[in-house]
């Protein structure tokens, strides 16, 4: 049995360049851990077929390959542009309208009915992820006369952002709930929730799934200024977060993004929530066989910040080199993880985790997770073994980024798949009712030739029987 090359998990967006079963298999072999389906694009049948391909690859390779369905949320887009793309030149005048028309180089339809309640004279309007910038000069007759501040080519249905503006829109629409229903029908239990502003947005989605008899895992995409302000409350109710730097980079001043990223990752680590760092990580590999030096550095820095996973979007969805992009990200992760011994465990982030247990009343599970990590370093443990019903113990240990793999044994397939998102966690399915679970774990390790005489293992366990959670002890095992 072979473990993945990197402990950092890699999320890959599947699209036209990676929809095929053969390519999906190559992506997994190159290092993909999580498949992302972006429901903002393509029809249900297309995603259903992609999901079928993913499940077949998962079965063939004998791995857990979780699927995250990304719910688009209320992303504002422009309408259709005739004979697009059109070139907008700096200084030219252009109108924005909410009328249902076909646009051109002088007037652009916007698919947001409350546009004129969100902007005023002097407001900035960003198009195409901020690459094109307009300034509102005048508003009249349901049209906004704007001047192009930064020009560029604009095509149909590109995104529109209104930095610092109040959005009069529900982050979770009926359409979004319909997409979640589709995902539940297809057996998906991990959902990326876009444009989250507050904890109630996540609770609304979870309650919707609960009424359908399903428990889901939510990944709150942090891409609005309100979400950054409300991050503590959002983390309490979310199962994971994504630092979605694309839209976030036009909602806040772009120079603030690096520090916001570090703060979000630190907060997620402190609360044992997996965190994904996303957007343009290796974007130049959409068209080139090699990334830029700054992109390589960006990926490495996110890992050193403590992220659980890095994400590829257009690189694997529509890029010319999807497999090569995954392999490159794996190579960067492997190289960076070698330096954890010299960097991460001496970092301010890791020290903050330790100190937080002293500042606040810690849970027993927090103390166990910290001592498990420290003990694994001292004795050079081969693995940390975590029997788990919910996955919480494995995630608590994962945030400390131990040098060895965390082998999580669970009877719940949904939990096993979600654990595949956490740094350094490798999940196994185990039926704890059939036999003594400790004996079964050791049998699995021997069957798969993962241990030998003289190896040290660390086992976390709960001494209170028939209780979910409640890990309250650890022991060191010398393999004989």
Q: What is the mean pLDDT of the chain?
A: 91
Q: What is the pLDDT of residues 387-419, one digit of tens each?
A: 998 999 999 999 989 889 999 999 999 999 999
pLDDT at 186: 96
pTM to 2 decimals? 0.90
| Statement: residue 469 has pLDDT above 60 | no
Query: What is the crossing angle of helices 257-270 and 348-359, to 10°?
Result: 50
Q: Which residue has the higher pLDDT, 394 or 433?
A: 394
Active-site positions read: 36, 77, 221, 279
Range with lowest mean pLDDT among 69-73, 210-214, 310-314, 340-344:
340-344
pLDDT at 266: 92
Q: Which residue has the higher pLDDT, 52 or 142?
A: 52
Q: If we measure between CA atoms, which residue out of 396, 429, 424 comes closest to residue 414? A: 429
Per-residue pLDDT band for 82 (boundaries 50, 70, 90) equals: very high
Around 91, how many Cα atoms within 13 Å sit in the side-chain half-sphere?
0
pLDDT at 464: 60
Q: What is the pLDDT of residues 275-330, one digit of tens each?
A: 999 999 999 999 999 999 999 999 999 999 999 999 999 999 999 999 999 999 99
| Statement: residue 3 has pLDDT above 80 | yes
The whole-number average pLDDT for the span 358-366 is 75
pLDDT at 354: 67
pLDDT at 465: 56
Range with lowest mean pLDDT among 230-239, 439-448, 459-468:
459-468
pLDDT at 168: 86
**DSSP E strand stretches across 110-236:** 124-127, 132-140, 143-150, 152-154, 160-161, 190-193, 217-222
pLDDT at 313: 96
Structure-token match 């690096």, residue found: 258
**What DSSP string describes 84-108?**
S-EEEPTT-EEEEE-SS--B-SSEE
The whole-number average pLDDT for the span 162-189 is 92
Secondary structure of residue 8 in the 3-state scheme? coil
Distance of CA 415 to CAs 68, 239, 421, Å?
13, 11, 10
> At 119, which helix (H) or strand (E)?
none
Q: Which residue has the higher pLDDT, 301 or 371?
A: 301
The whole-number average pLDDT for the span 41-50 is 92
Q: What are phi and psi of 89, to 5 degrees?
A: -100, 145
**Pairing verdict, β 143-150 and 93-97:** antiparallel
Peptide bond into 85 cis (omega under 30): yes
| Statement: residue 351 has pLDDT above 80 | no
The whole-number average pLDDT for the span 270-275 is 95
| Statement: residue 472 has pLDDT above 70 | yes
Q: What is the pLDDT of residues 180-216, one digit of tens each?
A: 999 999 999 999 999 999 999 999 999 999 999 999 9
pLDDT at 64: 94
Q: What distance in Å separates the CA atoms of residue 20 and residue 35, rounded to the nearest whole number?
A: 13
| Statement: residue 145 has pLDDT above 80 | yes
Per-residue pLDDT band for 54 (boundaries 50, 70, 90) equals: very high
Per-residue pLDDT band for 434 (boundaries 50, 70, 90) equals: low
Q: Percentage of residues in the chain with pLDDT exceeding 70?
A: 93
Q: Percentage of residues in the chain with pLDDT exceeding 90?
A: 75
pLDDT at 96: 97
Mind listing the domains of the chain with CATH numbers? Answer: 9-73+170-338 (3.20.20.60), 86-161 (2.40.33.10), 361-478 (3.40.1380.20)
Q: Which residue has the higher pLDDT, 473 or 290?
A: 290
Per-residue pLDDT band for 467 (boundaries 50, 70, 90) equals: low
């Amino acid at each position: 049995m072979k473990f993945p090359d990197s402990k950092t998990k890699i999320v890959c967006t599947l699209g036209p360049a990676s929809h095929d079963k053969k390519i999906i298999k190559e992506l997994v072999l190159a290092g993909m851990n999580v498949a992302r389906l972006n429901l903002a694009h393509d029809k249900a049948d297309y995603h259903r077929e992609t999901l079928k391909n993913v499940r077949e690859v998962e079965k063939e390779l004998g791995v857990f390959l979780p699927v995250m369905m990304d719910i688009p949320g209320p992303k504002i887009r422009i309408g259709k542009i005739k004979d697009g793309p059109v070139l907008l030149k700096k200084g030219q005048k252009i109108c924005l309208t909410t009328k249902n028309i076909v646009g051109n180089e002088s007037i652009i339809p916007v698919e947001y009915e409350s546009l004129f309640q969100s902007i005023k004279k002097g407001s900035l309007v960003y198009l195409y992820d901020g690459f094109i910038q307009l300034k509102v000069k005048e508003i009249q007759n349901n049209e906004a006369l704007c001047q192009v501040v930064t020009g560029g080519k604009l095509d149909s249905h590109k995104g529109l952002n209104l930095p610092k503006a109040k959005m009069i829109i529900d982050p979770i629409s009926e359409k979004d709930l319909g997409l979640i229903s589709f995902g539940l029908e297809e057996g998906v239990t991990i959902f990326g929730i876009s444009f989250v502003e507050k904890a109630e947005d996540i609770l609304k989605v979870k309650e919707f799934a609960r009424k359908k008899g399903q428990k889901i895992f939510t990944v709150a995409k942090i891409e609005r200024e309100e979400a950054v302000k409300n991050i503590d409350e959002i983390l309490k109710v979310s199962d994971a977060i994504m630092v979605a730097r694309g839209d976030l980079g036009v909602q806040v001043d772009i120079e603030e993004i690096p520090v916001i990223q570090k703060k979000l990752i630190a907060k997620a680590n402190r609360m044992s929530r997996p965190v994904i760092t996303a957007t343009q990580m290796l974007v130049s590999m959409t068209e080139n066989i090699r990334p830029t030096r700054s992109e390589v550095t960006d990926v490495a820095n996110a890992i050193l910040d403590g992220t659980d996973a890095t994400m590829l979007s257009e690189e694997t969805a529509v890029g010319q080199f999807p497999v090569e992009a995954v392999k490159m990200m794996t190579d960067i992760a492997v190289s960076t993880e070698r330096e954890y011994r010299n960097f991460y465990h001496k970092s301010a982030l890791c020290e903050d985790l330790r100190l937080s247990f002293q500042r606040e009343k810690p849970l027993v599970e927090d103390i166990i997770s910290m001592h498990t990590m420290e003990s694994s370093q001292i004795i050079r443990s081969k693995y940390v073994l975590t029997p788990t019903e919910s996955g919480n113990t494995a995630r608590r240990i994962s945030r400390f980024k131990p040098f060895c793999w965390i082998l999580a044994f669970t009877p719940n397939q949904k939990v096993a798949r979600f654990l595949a998102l956490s740094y350094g966690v490798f999940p196994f399915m185990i039926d704890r009712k059939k036999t003594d679970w400790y004996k079964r774990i050791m049998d699995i390790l021997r069957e798969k030739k993962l241990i030998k005489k003289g190896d040290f293992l660390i086992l976390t366990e709960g001494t209170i029987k028939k209780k979910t959670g409640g890990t309250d002890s650890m022991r060191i095992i010398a393999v004989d």
